[in-house]
Amino acid sequence: MTKIDIIQNVYEKLGFSKKESSDIVESVFDIIKDSLAQGDKVKISGFGNFVVKEKRARRGRNPQTGQEISITARRVLTFKSSQVLRKALNG
C-alpha cells in the first residue's frame, strides 16, 4: 500500500476530486512530519505514537569490518504501536 492507494480511497469514499484527494493526503503526512521536525510527539490513538528521541554520542563498531567508529549525538524517530493495533494483528 502506498500514498496512491490512500488517495484513491479518499477519492472514492469521501467525494473529493482526484486533485483535492491528492493535496489532502500530502497534507496529512506533511503536518505529521513538521510536528516531528519540531520535536513534538505525534500520538494517534488506536494506532501508535511517533516520538523523537535524543541519542548521546557513543562508540560504535562497523559490524562488517569490526572497526571502531564514533557515532555522533543525534535525534532519531521511533514508533511505538498502540495496544489496540497489536491486538488487531494478533486477533
Partner 1 sequence: MDKEEAKNMNKSDLITALMVKNNLTEKQATDIINLVFDRFTKTLKDGGRIEIRGFGSFTVRQYKAYKGRNPKLGEYVEVKAKRLPFFKVGRELKKMADGK
Residues in the site for partner 1, rule: CB under 8 A?
Answer: 1-3, 5-6, 9-10, 13-14, 20, 23-25, 27-29, 31-33, 35-48, 50, 52, 54, 74-79, 81, 85-86, 88-91
Residue 33 vs 61, nearer CB to partner 1? 33
Question: Chain-centre distance of CA 48, in angstroms?
Answer: 10
- The C-alpha cell that represents 44 in the structure block: 494517534
CA dihedral of residues 1, 48, 44, 15 (deg, nearest 10): 20
* Cβ 60 to partner 1 shortest distance, Å: 16
